[in-house]
Structure 1
Amino acid sequence: MIESKYDWQIEQAQPDAITSLAKQAGVDGFIAQLLLQRGIDTPEKANTFLKPSIEAFHDPFLMHDMKKGIARIQQAVEAGEQITVYGDYDADGITSTTIMYEVLTDLGANVNYYIPNRFSEGYGPNAAAYQKIIQGGTTLIVTVDNGVAGHDAIAVANELKCDVIVSDHHSLPEVLPDAYAVIHPRLKSATGASYPFGDLCGAGVAFKIATALLDEVPTDLLDLAAIGTVADIVSLRDENRAIVKFGIQAIQNSQRPGLLALIKEAGGQLDQFDEQDIGFAVAPRLNSLGRMKDATVGVELLSTFDEEQAIELAKFANQQNDLRKSLVDQFYKEAVEQVETGSDLNRSTLLVVGDNWHQGVLGIVASRLVEKYQRPTLVLTSQDGTDDVKGSGRSIDQFDLFKAIDPIRDQLVAFGGHHSAVGLTVKKPNVSLLSDQLEKAAEQQQLDLSAKPKIEVAAKVGIDQLNSDLVGQLKTLAPFGQDNPKPIFDVSYDQVQSVKTMGKGADHLKFTLAKGNTSLVAVAFGKGALAAQIHPGATDLEVIGEIGENTWNNRTTLQLMVDDLKQPAAPVVDRRTRVLHEQMFRQAGTYVFFHERNLTQLKPYFADNCRAVMYDQLTRQTFQDQNLFVVDCPDVVADLADVLHRTHPKTTTLYLYKKQLVSKMGMPDRHSYAKLFRFVKENPNINIATQLKRLSKHLHIAERTIIFMIQVFLELDFITINDRVVNLNPHYQAHDLKSAPSFHLRQEQMKAEQQLLASSTRELIDFVKDCLDS
């Protein structure tokens, strides 16, 4: 049985609505269905969504304080004032800093930029940093991707006669800072009007300021705006959709040496570049700069026109990303060990404390733990020479992590964040207080860990419906991201084929779904452990995932990127095998043997939740497990039938292992018996230990067959054996060969092999069901 990770939500639009929109918008019915699921229910909305244009960009002067802020910037440019762009250390902050720096440079401004250090200065306006900047001659600070909560630092700037223009997109505080201007897409103007689209990221707001300064859309900055937009996981609707759509085109034709070098380092291809390449290749490398050390390098990388410097900086960014990944893997492994060996699994929340872990990757480790355990998680680290424990937290949809910790804010050194993510510093003695508070909040918020996270499934499709034309139509819905997810499909098929694992540690799963002459390769990352439960020929595995393309050796094929799968507990599972391995003895249940030598050899490999017994020791009273595993093949079919009748398991898994088949050797004919008998009669004192090979060659009978016939003769008193020396019994009596126990056993073994090993899966399953019903 395979439990689904998610609660699958399949929303079906009304057929009439699909037909109507498809006809009016001139799109395929399948695309119309997906549009309706996204709330796009008119041909006008469909046309705007599918074909974004420059008209999608709103007037930047509709944004709060834009006119005032632009006037101040223009004044500073004309007067030659020193302007400092104050940015942030993530990908959105780096791109928004680059956008603002480049547009001011193009206007002839006296401009530089400053990105605070994540570890020593933290996020947002820093009073000490502002003082240093102003002492260096700056009279105007323009923030990007930060500042709306920077009251203290902005107050310091005002005292030092330096104006601050805040451009930000983060949550608005109850009271705005006393900045010269606050440019924010969610702020209402003095007349109460709102900017038409409030979901811009920091780079998006910087792009709007650049538009206002230049009095035209700066198409040469769309590449940076697109990277920031995708990296910050903001809504990909409205203006953001146009930014990313046109931004990807700009990246494909980019003249930025740094961006081109970074894409090359990441293994990307410009002609196929899309939003996924931003999210999984470009953005992580930019983010790694700030996570590991200094994000200033990111602005240098994106803005340089020196190709040698670009290549050098791109390599450095890639190295930092590799270092980040290795640290995440290391700390994640240690965190999992800490959770698994402690008592945390009995808790509703997780709190992990490492020793001198790199602070820049703790949020990623927390995210991976949330993914694995589906519960709110804090990952903290102690530091040598200090009593502070710093870290990050991530949460699940049904638990407000910020609200959970806020009641003990005054007992923390530092704390900030929102519903799903927090950052904090706490003194070592208060770690237990923090842990207790999380559990208390879990109870107060009625956190139910049994509730699965929901996942939206677009439609159920057969693999025979999937083709390159359909994938081409799906691409018209791109770019995909927040509020416009890539469609997830419930895929139907006839049977599973070719199940295997991939990756260094067999971490990933790969299998093929087949229907008629059509097949589709499915890849499930991180699900390699499920391979033992999915069997070729299975028909009851349910799979959902995204349809993608895989290009190998210039050949492009469709593949399914699996998001989730589930499989009911099959009453009978056919896993007949000629090879046994340790992983086959890890599932909870009773493992029954028909040959004691096999039980003795395999017993060391059984997990603690497994029980290994001989078939004749198993009774209805002693069988308490629901799952029965039949390890080896019985000599007599009736023995298996009797076990099944006695136990009535909920599930029966049949390995029916047998190293060598007697049916391959067959039953000796009467002529062979006669030849051997005559030879023994004419040649006394045959030593089986030393003369078997010669005897086999002389009689043209296989060695194993000779051993079997000698056993039959011995049981019928035709011969005597003393110290492996065979002689004719001078007093033998005539007997029917079939009366020998070994002869009878071989007949039964051959019947068992025919019925249990040579039968089809359907015939075997029907046999087991008949035994259970009797």
Structure 2
Amino acid sequence: MLESQSNWIFTYKNTDQESTDILAGVNVSPVIKQLLWQQGIDTEEKVERFLRPSLDQLHNPEQFNQIDKAVQRVRQAIEAGESILVYGDYDADGVTSTTVMVEALRESGAMCDYYIPNRFTEGYGPNEEAFREAHRQGFQLIITVDNGIAGVEEVAVANQLGMDVIITDHHEAQEALPEAHAIIHPKCSEDYPFKELAGVGVAFKFAQQLLGYFPEQFLDLVVVGTIADLVPLHDENRVLVHHGLKALSRSERKGLKALKKLCQIEGNVTEEDIGFRIGPRLNAVGRLQDANLAVDLLLTEDPQEAEELANYVQDLNTERQKIVADITKEAISQYEAADHTKQVIIVVKEGWNQGVLGIVASKLVQTYYRPAIVLAIDSETKKAKGSARSIDGFDMFQNCMQHRELFTHFGGHAQAAGMTLPVENIEVLETELDTLARQQLTEEDFKPQLSISGSLAISDIDMTLLETIDQLAPFGMGNPKPLFHFEATPSDIKQIGATKNHLKMRFSENGQQLDTIGFGLGEKVPYLAKQTPLEVVGELQINEWNGIRKPQMLIKDMAVTSWQLFDFRGMRNWQEQVNIEKPNQYFVSFQGSDIQGVPVCDKDTVLAVSHPIEALYLLDVPSKLEDLQILIDKVKFERLIVCFSTNDSQYFRSLPNRDEFKWLYQLMLKRKYFDYKVDAPKLASFKGWKLDKIKFMFQVFHELNFVTRKDGVIVPTDEPSKKDLTEASVYQDRKHEMELEEIFIYSSYSQLKTWFSEQMEKRSNEEEMVYGL
């Protein structure tokens, strides 16, 4: 048995016929109907909008509260020759938002510049000193993008200085809103239908209203910020990403072209290209230094400058990856050494790079599936600053807001937040969040959930199916790639990768093969027995190699629901492959064997165990079959490991046949004596027998009273009674040993597993009879 790491939610049960009936008029495959139905797309109109996202599905920006007031103020600034400052953020959403707003303002004729606060010295969002510096430099209007909704005090300072502030943001609003000239925010606009735009989406809407037309030239930026910020890809976001990917694929923007070249992206750009290549590189700039460089890259019209800046961004991303790996290792070590009873992970250290703590928090959540906060301490200010990431059942924003007084700065979403707080408040925060988590979370909440869209047979999985599923792209938050489930027996299992930390399996069915890959699952190989059915959950993808395209499954989770047999027979030093210290495993010897370093026990010790055993090791073959049958009958286990040695085997020492016994006895009668020490080697040489065989035959004769010892030699018995050779117990013992060895040592894996399965089936049948009775 191998337990799944996630809770599997089979969303497709009882939906097939319903989706087919209600969506009967939709001309798509049954698979697509079922997948759409599971997402609540349950009318023909919704299907049409989802499968064919068009720009006319976008909402009118006039539905934003105060957007006309904001446009009027910008136009007033342009007419009066005022200077406008675009105040952005240092992540990919922030720098694309800044670029959109700057280009829209410049096209409108505004005198403008942009400013990205430094993550390390200023932190996220508006800060008073930056606003005061903007005033000193002569700016009369500040437009925030992807931030500002929490800047109550900073906006008040701007107002005192005589500057107006227009806020465009999408982050969660707190108790009080800033007294800005205008706030453009979907969640602060009751008439705006869609609340989940990214920061760049809000900036795009403002740009559209300002310019008076739909600015398609910004779609290549909008798609990058939207995907990188992990907002739900439905409604407007789906439309913007669908058309944005096309725009990015053909974009002539010098910075994006340079980035695509570095990422080796050719042809059509996918959402994965942004999520795993372009987005992380843009984010890396603000994580390690001033993010203005990223905006410079997106704004530049000089191909050479774009190439130079892109290369610098690439170097920063490589450096960022190393820093993340180092801090993650330290964070895991700190957590492993700490109190594991806490429901929320909080790790803290002086000197950690603040720019990557969100990534580290995400890795902790992935590893332990608990809410995680990672903080870096500033030794001078005695404050801790960092990031939080959470799990589905725990709203990090709302729970932290219940203790807002502990923070100097705080903001974010349900699943991600940023914060600054005095060092002395960390322990209080840990206690309070632990209390809230205990009230809200159950044991099941600490396992991730996998929503499974359908079960397939291996023979169902082909390129046609993958191309069909691709109709649902772009995938991402709110529209994840569908996960499929199958059960089959792998024909090949192996560890791959430089450190053997990945798992690769091949499944075959009706002449069709499917390769599967599980990144980071290489450690599961010792827990996968051959010829055992395996349940797999994963997402389908295309594997292309040397121009050949074929389906592949990326494994998300797997499970073995039946007991497993592992065959270590005849394997030398098998104990080196086993974690001897692991709990709930037993090493049974029937013969009293002693193996160095192994905690050997007898069968009675195991029979006294009342709970199911994870691993039961059988070190030797029992003398009596009943001993093993009793063990199998009484003990419940998940994995059975046979470690029988083939040394001193009786199996190939075949029993002498009747003619051989007869010949030796007649020899005794003729010679009248047999001096074993002298005559046995001669006889062995003459007949080609082994000494052990000759010794065994005389043991049988002696037990049946056919011979006796006299004066140190073997002599025939006078008038022995007539007996069959098989009546001798030594003969029966040898025969019994050979039969046991045939079952347990020289059988094939399949034969051995069948034997054990039959014993367990007998137990199961007996249990059913008792239960039924």
**TM-score normalised per structure 1:** 0.84
SS in 2 for 1:24: coil
Report the counterpart of residue 161 of structure 2 in structure 1: 160
Deviates more, 1:353-362 or 1:209-218: 209-218
Deviates more, 1:530-539 or 1:764-773: 764-773
Instruction: Report the Cα distance in structure 2 between the residues aligned to 1:339 and 1:577, rounded to whole angstroms.
Output: 40
Structure 2: stretches of 5+ with no match in the other structure: 668-673, 703-710, 718-723, 767-773
Report the counterpart of residue 721 of structure 1 in structure 2: none
Contact 1:712 1:741 survives alignment (8 Å) = no
Deviation at 1:283, TM superposition (A): 1.3
**2:484 pairs with 1:489:** yes
Deviation at 1:403, TM superposition (A): 4.2
Deviates more, 1:273-282 or 1:402-411: 402-411
Report the counterpart of residue 230 of structure 1 in structure 2: 227
Q: 1:111 to 1:448 in 2, by over 3 A?
A: same
**2:503 pairs with 1:509:** yes
Q: 1:346 to 1:700 in 2, by over 3 A?
A: farther
Instruction: Report the Cα distance in structure 2 between the residues aligned to 1:470 and 1:496, rounded to whole angstroms.
Output: 21
1:118-517 equivalences in 2 (<5 Å) = 118-188=119-189, 194-266=191-263, 268-342=264-338, 344-443=339-438, 445-451=439-445, 452-491=447-486, 493-517=487-511
Q: 1:741 to 1:316 in 2, by over 3 A?
A: farther
Q: 1:218 to 1:699 in 2, by over 3 A?
A: farther
Deviates more, 1:94-103 or 1:270-279: 270-279
**2:758 pairs with 1:763:** no
Deviates more, 1:665-674 or 1:432-441: 665-674
Instruction: Report the Cα distance in structure 1 between the residues aligned to 2:112 and 2:692, rounded to whole angstroms.
Output: 95
Report the counterpart of residue 4 of structure 2 in structure 1: 4
Instruction: Report the Cα distance in structure 1 between the residues aligned to 2:583 and 2:589, rounded to whole angstroms.
Output: 16
Deviation at 1:226, TM superposition (A): 0.4
Q: 1:536 to 1:302 in 2, by over 3 A?
A: farther
Question: Number of aligned pairs?
Answer: 732
Instruction: Report the Cα distance in structure 1 between the residues aligned to 2:715 and 2:251, rounded to whole angstroms.
Output: 99
Contact 2:348 2:377 survives alignment (8 Å) = yes
Instruction: Report the Cα distance in structure 1 between the residues aligned to 2:660 and 2:265, rounded to whole angstroms.
Output: 71
| Structure 1 residues 125-151: Cα deviation after superposition (integer angstroms, max 9, x where no partner) | 112111212322322222211122323
Report the counterpart of residue 616 of structure 2 in structure 1: 629
Deviation at 1:212, TM superposition (A): 2.8
Which residue of 538, 541, 555 corresponds with 1:548?
541
Letter in 1 for 2:39: R
| Structure 1 residues 244-290: Cα deviation after superposition (integer angstroms, max 9, x where no partner) | 11111122212233223323433x43335311221122212222221
Letter in 1 for 2:636: P
Instruction: Report the Cα distance in structure 2 between the residues aligned to 1:99 and 1:127, rounded to whole angstroms.
Output: 24
Instruction: Report the Cα distance in structure 1 between the residues aligned to 2:38 and 2:610, rounded to whole angstroms.
Output: 50
Contact 1:204 1:225 survives alignment (8 Å) = yes
**TM-score normalised per structure 2:** 0.84
Deviates more, 1:73-82 or 1:318-327: 73-82
Deviation at 1:504, TM superposition (A): 4.1
SS in 1 for 2:172: coil
Contact 2:102 2:114 survives alignment (8 Å) = yes
SS in 1 for 2:713: coil
Deviates more, 1:272-281 or 1:420-429: 420-429
Instruction: Report the Cα distance in structure 2 between the residues aligned to 1:396 and 1:352, rounded to whole angstroms.
Output: 17
Contact 1:572 1:653 survives alignment (8 Å) = yes
Q: 1:183 to 1:642 in 2, by over 3 A?
A: closer
Q: 1:62 to 1:388 in 2, by over 3 A?
A: closer
Instruction: Report the Cα distance in structure 2 between the residues aligned to 1:387 and 1:54, rounded to whole angstroms.
Output: 50
Letter in 1 for 2:96: T
Contact 2:150 2:411 survives alignment (8 Å) = no
Q: 1:300 to 1:747 in 2, by over 3 A?
A: farther
Report the counterpart of residue 723 of structure 1 in structure 2: none
Q: 1:730 to 1:465 in 2, by over 3 A?
A: same
Contact 1:592 1:628 survives alignment (8 Å) = no
Structure 1: stretches of 5+ with no match in the other structure: 604-610, 689-695, 719-728
Instruction: Report the Cα distance in structure 2 between the residues aligned to 1:257 and 1:636, rounded to whole angstroms.
Output: 80
Deviates more, 1:324-333 or 1:195-204: 324-333
Deviation at 1:412, TM superposition (A): 4.1
Contact 2:452 2:537 survives alignment (8 Å) = yes
Instruction: Report the Cα distance in structure 1 between the residues aligned to 2:245 and 2:609, rounded to whole angstroms.
Output: 66
Instruction: Report the Cα distance in structure 2 between the residues aligned to 1:186 and 1:771, rounded to whole angstroms.
Output: 64
Deviation at 1:230, TM superposition (A): 0.9
Deviation at 1:413, TM superposition (A): 3.8
Letter in 2 for 1:314: A
Report the counterpart of residue 751 of structure 1 in structure 2: 739
Q: 1:209 to 1:634 in 2, by over 3 A?
A: same
Contact 1:251 1:270 survives alignment (8 Å) = no
Identity rate of aligned residues, in percent?
35
